[in-house]
């Protein structure tokens, strides 16, 4: 849900701050999922690490674009 909502917040409704808060929530839930998966089967946790890196990169981009365009993204 966080993943789909981010697109609407950032691109559809142009709410940069809310999109950033949403992607941080996505990062936290992803980190918790990795830890829980790792306890059951370490390979499952390892397979989510590239996604964690990608979402971290997207969060940095979200923040930078939001801060550089306050007139558009609130």
pLDDT in tens, 17-39: 999 999 999 999 999 999 999 99
| Mean pLDDT of the region 43-61 | 98
Look over the chain and give the mean of its residue pLDDT values, rounded to a whole number.
97
**Four-point Cα dihedral 27, 30, 31, 35, nearest 10:** 180
Global model pTM greater than 0.95 = no
| Mean pLDDT of the region 68-72 | 95
Q: Confidence band (pLDDT; 50, 70, 90) for 2?
A: confident
pLDDT at 61: 98
**22, 2 in Cβ contact below 8 A?**
yes
């Amino acid at each position: 849900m966080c993943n789909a909502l981010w697109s609407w917040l950032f691109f559809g409704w142009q709410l940069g701050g809310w999109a950033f808060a949403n992607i941080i929530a996505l990062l936290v839930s992803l980190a918790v999922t990795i830890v829980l998966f790792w306890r059951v089967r370490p390979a499952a946790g390892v397979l989510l690490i590239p996604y964690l890196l990608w979402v971290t990169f997207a969060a940095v981009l979200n923040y930078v674009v939001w801060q550089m365009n306050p007139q558009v993204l609130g």
